[in-house]
Structure 1
């Protein structure tokens, strides 16, 4: 696995390291190196050398640094001089770049390949609102996409069936862990929030659509619309990541014909009448019954926040929920 060093002036590298871990999960063979005000170039180099020595392999190393020409860059540049065939540096570090680098290690074994790949994502991660602040060429592309006509009803695209790369129950819906970690590991071309509540809430709907990661479209649809879309052969080339706010919404979609085999359980917010099962999951009696009904239908469950977490089982959590609810 390619080793990654995040390097910066001050605590920036440590902060982005923590943010990356919060969103994408704990990473092996990754280290942060910072240059503090009372330190010099030799201190940074020594930290980098220690970080490299701690990795499982020193064959492929990628440095992500804050500034081109700064001390962290210069020391990394000195170190790669003897390894130019395999080591690489990318400057202008930002969080989209770091997340993309983490995700790329699943499919790329070369520091050079990852370095070349993540530059586009780092640039696409720089956006502005209102949209009038975006460069004119970017707005032109968006306008052209909006003007493309829809396919006539009955048109069969591909095999005529949507590919569901992930179906997730998450009361937060589209947030950082989904937009980065899950999107990078499941590779959808469309994120669909399936919720009657959100579909009729203009503000929430707009915020979700704006939160879509670069290169992936986001839609918010009512449950009945999702059932209709699932049967429409025009969506045969769609690789969809579905997000449900509640297990009840997921069950209704499945009963309506949305062909899901497995559901990822990410987070369920606490509210009146619910009991906390762990730090991210709270349930009431209706939630328990809903999950049990899906189990009887043959639905499998994968309980975890981010892809790097170990897959958890739902049954022990349902048992705990029943016990807690009985003791209320």
Structure 2
């Protein structure tokens, strides 16, 4: 239950421990989930054992009237046992087979805005199919081959683009960004802002390929972002999710005139000379100074890895980091 709202229950069902593993993978990306159960068919179990597990899972949900089954194979024992339960609830329940990680994460994200199992089932099908990609791309049928992304600077309707999220994350575009944050902020473009990465062709290509379906990814230097932010002739209707590798780059952008009022702080990797006041953030003196200067510019900080996390207190984190550096 989120904000007093009951969430659709999800049962992940598979032959063997696949369901347990993909449940863990989904939590690494989207965070711990309520009303989700993994149900496995083990070698020493029969159909009735599996059905009993499914029934127990349904009873554990806050709203047993809304249940979505995500199943590995159509026609297998997990499907057949889920289907025997589904028949009595087919006006509300739903089943989707071909379980993959994009499907599961999309289902988690969809529960934030959708209230019925059938609505979510219809929505996640496209994402599940889009999650199957091929390299080299020329082996794919021509009608499904990936089209090259337009360059940053392609004209849209008149006006400036809006910034739906500005995030500091040393990992840049990875699973948590490509799934949870894009689903909650709905960007049309993901822009990695880094002088170093913009000069690295391999990293640039990997970032572009990691973009979620329907969202364009770009890598640009800080100066180009500053230039774009002052362009009144392009980017009308564009919703940008900005990714900075470090706070120094974010500060340069803000001091250059990019109108950022809030910065999400997600992950800063540890390296020699840095201190680590919590599990995901590491600082040197330049990092601390950059955050303090951004704060002086009126920037607020949202310290969270994923939207479901409780926000941390940046002032307290910086104080701990500064004290640790002073003791070195």
Provide the TM-score with structure 2 as the length reference. Answer: 0.95
Aligned pair in 2 of structure 1 residues 31, 236: CA closer, same or farther (>3 Å)?
A: same
The separation in 1 between residues aligned to 2:307 and 2:263, in whole angstroms, is 13
Q: Superposed, which structure 2 residues align to 1:141-290 within 5 Å?
A: 142=147, 150-151=154-155, 157=157, 160-233=159-232, 234-290=234-290
1:292-303 matched pairs, under 5 angstroms:
292-303=292-303
Provide the residue aligned with 1:113 in structure 2.
119
1:213 CA drift (Å): 0.9
Q: State how far apart, in whole Å, the 2-side matches of 1:50 and 1:90 are.
A: 20
Q: Name which of 6, 27, 36 aligns with 1:30.
A: 36
Quote the Cα distance in structure 2 between the aligned partners of 1:209 and 1:303: 26
Q: 2-side partners of 1:242 and 1:146: how far apart?
A: 17
Q: Secondary structure at the match of 1:142?
A: coil
Shift of 1:272: 1.8
| Count of residue pairs brought into register by the alignment | 320
Hey, what's the Cα distance between the residues in 1 that align with 2:304 and 2:174? Answer: 15
Q: Write out aligned runs for 1:93-104 (5 A).
A: 93-104=99-110
Q: 1:65 aligns with which of 63, 71, 75?
A: 71
Deviating above 2 A after TM superposition, structure 1's stretches of 4 or more consecutive aligned residues are none
Residue 23 of structure 2 corresponds to: 17
Equivalent-residue separation in structure 2 for 1:73 and 1:259 (angstroms): 51
1:135, 1:7 → 2: CA distance? 31
Q: What is the CA-CA distance between 1:163 and the residue it aligns to?
A: 1.2
1:187, 1:253 → 2: CA distance? 22
What CA deviation, in whole Å up to 9, does each residue of 1:145-177 have, x standing for no partner? 769x943xxxx725x121111110000100111
Question: Structure 1: which 5+ residue stretches go unaligned?
Answer: none
Deviations 1:107-135 (A, max 9, x none): 11011110001000000010011111222
- SS of residue in 2 equivalent to 1:298: coil
Which residue in 1 is equivalent to 2:3? none
3-state SS of 1:15 partner: helix
Structure 2 residues not aligned, in runs of 5+? 1-6
Q: Does 1:78 align with 2:84?
A: yes
2:129 to 100, 123, 131: 123
Q: State the alpha-carbon separation in 2 of the partners of residues 176 and 13 from structure 1.
A: 19
Matched position secondary structure for 1:129: coil
- Measure, in 2, the Cα distance between the counterparts of 1:135 and 1:202: 27
1:218 to partner: Cα distance: 0.3
Aligned to 2:140: 134
RMSD of equivalent CA atoms: 1.5
Bigger shift: residues 169-178 or 125-134: 125-134
Please give the alpha-carbon distance, in whole angstroms, between the structure 2 residues aligned to 1:150 and 1:26: 39
